[in-house]
């Protein structure tokens, strides 16, 4: 997805197709969202197969849809690739469960993912990132987007207790879930790609759990933690463990790589921002927040209206699917002045909703933030400059905003 919008052009909202994959690989969705926020903050679309959905694009409306489970339920599905087919894991998969059950399970699982809990992992993550960046130090072409797909596995694989021999397979499978139409990851039809990847990931987690039980003892991994979680006095079922392990794998492999490549591209296109960050390392945490806002890697989430809901100047009927466009909310001029400017000194960048909002706020956000902070500390400390060395290739997905290729050439820093 183009992150820096092109020149303004006329947009016919009656003809807009937000499920047009070409829009995200070759088009300019940000210009469409600009017009939707101004003229149609609640937009209705019917797909050729009869499925329909409503879209909200303003920051406040997106937060309302994501934050109020009494009006908008997660228990029929939360990703647009499942539009029209109720989630069979509802009430079991954490992301497809509403409070109070969601809150109870989240609290138990999340105890190992708080900012305090993940802090001791920082040194190991830093060593992993240093190794990741080493191939770019020789001055040759380095495909950052392609390599970054593996970064979450390098960082979180040891924390999850996943052996290195499995990392590449899991990276491929998680990419198939989130971008089933992209030619790099598609196997047959979109539906077949989703079915294969879902089955293989759940089977992988199930097998890992069974092997851990057979081995006995604990290795301190997050999978071990899942197996020990109790909600009240009741342990998670094996199905819940498998599904939530699947969800953790997806979350670990989705946002971080695309935030990395999209933020680096923004810095390459704005050398003054790169120099500002390089000269003042204290700006890195805000650079991360601005990068999250700018890239909005998980660019939407879906909910279903529990009853008729008035929002955005219109009404979503009971049972209607509503897509909350994160990528638009994070460019809402009512919340972020000059939203299409990438500014690492932006005041209020941390108000971005790239990790979602409300009870379903990303459980792994503290780990992702720490990983991104360490990544940019190491990048800025090691490279004097970065240039692109070819065209970026955008992910073919209306759910994940990212790139499959971003060839760069970096010059090693020679001064402190």
DSSP 300-346: EEEEEESS-EEETTEEEPTT-EEEEEHHHHTT-TTTSSSTTS--TT-
Contacts of 212 (CB under 8 A, 6+ apart): 161, 219, 223, 224, 227
**Cα(89)–Cα(97) distance, integer angstroms:** 9
Q: How confident is the model at residue 9 (pLDDT cuts 50, 70, 90)?
A: low
In angstroms, the Cα distances linking 286 to 250, 259, 283 are: 25, 14, 5
Position 221 pLDDT exceeds 90? no
Rounded to an integer, what distance in angstroms lies between the CA atom of residue 277 and that of residue 288? Answer: 11
- 9 in a structural domain: no
pLDDT of residue 214: 82
Average pLDDT on 385-397 reads 94
Per-residue pLDDT reduced to its tens digit, 394-404: 999 999 999 99
Domain-located, residue 182: yes
Indicate the average pLDDT of the chain: 92
* Average pLDDT score over residue span 377-387: 96
- Side-chain half-sphere exposure of 251, counting CA atoms within 13 A: 24
H or E element in which residue 53 lies: strand 52-56
Residue 217 has pLDDT above 80, yes or no: no
Position 224 in a domain: yes
Angle between the N-to-C axes of helices 284-295 and 365-382, in degrees from 0 to 180, rounded to the nearest 10 = 110
Band of residue 416 on the pLDDT scale cut at 50, 70, 90:
low
In a domain? residue 101: yes
Residue 148 contacts residue 158 (beta carbons within 8 Å): no
Query: Residue 110 sits in a domain of what CATH number?
Result: 1.10.630.10
Contacts of residue 240, Cβ cutoff 8 Å, sequence gap at least 6: 92, 93, 105
Structural domain contains residue 145: yes
What is 131-184 written as a DSSP string? HHHGGGGGSSEEEHHHHHTTHHHHHHHHHHT--GGGHHHHHHHHHHHH-TTSTT
Provide mean pLDDT across the span 3-16.
83
What pLDDT is recorded for position 414? Answer: 81
Q: Is 408 helix (H, G, I), strand (E, B) or coil?
A: strand
Strand ranges of the sheet holding 383-388, from the earlier edge strand across to the other edge: 141-143, 407-412, 383-388
pLDDT tens digits, 259-281: 999 999 999 999 999 999 999 99
0.75 exceeded by pTM: yes
Residue 149: pLDDT band by 50, 70, 90 thresholds? very high
Are 56 and 311 in contact, with CB atoms under 8 Å apart?
A: yes
Is residue 334 situated within a structural domain?
A: yes
Tell me which residue has tokens 């790239």. Answer: 354
- Does residue 27 belong to any structural domain of this protein? yes
* Residue pair 329/59 in contact by the 8 Å Cβ criterion: yes
Compare 14 and 6 and report the one with higher pLDDT: 14
> Has residue 10 been placed in a domain?
no
Indicate whether 225 pLDDT > 90. Answer: no
363 pLDDT band, cuts 50/70/90, is very high
- Report the number of distinct structural domains present in the chain: 1
Q: For 278-333, what is each residue's pLDDT tens digit?
A: 999 999 999 999 999 999 999 999 999 999 999 999 999 999 999 999 999 999 99
Q: Which domain holds residue 183?
A: 21-412
pLDDT digits (tens, 9 = 90+) for 84-135: 888 888 888 889 999 999 999 899 888 889 999 999 999 999 999 999 999 9
pLDDT for 61: 98
Taking residue 107's Cβ as centre, other Cβ atoms within 10 Å add up to 12
CA distance 39 to 35: 6
Q: What is the pLDDT of residues 166-207, one digit of tens each?
A: 999 999 998 998 889 999 999 999 889 999 998 998 898 888
**Mean of pLDDT values over 250-255:** 79
What is the percentage of the chain residues whose pLDDT exceeds 90?
A: 69
Assess whether pLDDT exceeds 90 at residue 159: no
């Amino acid at each position: 997805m183009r992150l820096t919008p092109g020149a303004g052009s006329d947009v016919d909202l009656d003809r807009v197709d937000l499920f047009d994959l070409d829009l995200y690989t070759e088009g300019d969705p940000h210009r469409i969202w600009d017009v939707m926020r101004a003229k149609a903050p609640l937009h209705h679309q019917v797909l050729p197969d009869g499925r329909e959905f409503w879209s909200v694009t303003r920051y406040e409306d997106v937060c309302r849809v994501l934050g109020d489970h009494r009006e908008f339920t997660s228990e029929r599905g939360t990703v647009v690739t499942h539009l029209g087919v109720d989630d069979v894991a509802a009430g079991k998969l954490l992301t497809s469960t509403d409070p109070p059950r969601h809150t109870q399970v989240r609290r138990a699982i999340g105890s190992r993912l708080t900012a305090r809990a993940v802090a001791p992992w920082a040194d190991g993550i830093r060593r992993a990132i240093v190794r990741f960046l080493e191939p770019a130090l020789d001055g040759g072409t380095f495909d950052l987007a392609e390599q970054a797909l593996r970064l979450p596995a390098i960082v979180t694989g040891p924390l999850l207790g996943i052996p290195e021999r499995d990392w590449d397979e899991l990276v491929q499978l998680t990419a198939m879930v989130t971008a089933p139409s992209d030619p790099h990851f598609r196997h047959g039809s979109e539906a077949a790609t989703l079915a294969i990847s879902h089955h293989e990931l759940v089977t992988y987690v199930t097998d890992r759990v069974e092997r851990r039980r057979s081995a006995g003892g604990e290795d301190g991994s997050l999978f071990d933690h899942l197996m020990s979680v109790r909600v009240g006095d009741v342990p998670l079922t094996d199905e819940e463990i498998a599904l939530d392990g699947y969800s953790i794998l997806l979350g670990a492999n989705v946002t971080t790589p695309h935030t990395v490549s999209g933020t680096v591209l923004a810095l390459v296109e704005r050398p003054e921002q790169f120099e500002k960050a390089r000269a003042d390392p204290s700006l890195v945490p805000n650079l991360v927040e601005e990068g999250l806002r700018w890239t909005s890697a998980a660019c939407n989430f879906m909910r279903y209206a529990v009853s008729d809901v008035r929002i955005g100047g219109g009404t979503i009927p009971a049972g209607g699917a509503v897509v909350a466009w994160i990528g638009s909310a994070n460019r809402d001029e009512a919340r972020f002045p000059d939203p299409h400017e990438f500014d690492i000194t932006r005041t209020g960048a941390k108000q971005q909703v790239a990790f979602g909002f409300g009870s379903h706020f990303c459980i792994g956000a503290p780990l992702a933030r720490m990983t991104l902070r360490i990544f940019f500390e190491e990048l800025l400390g090691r490279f004097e400059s970065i240039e692109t060395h070819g065209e970026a290739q955008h992910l073919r997905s209306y759910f994940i905003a990212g790139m499959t290729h971003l060839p760069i050439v970096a010059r090693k820093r020679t001064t402190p």
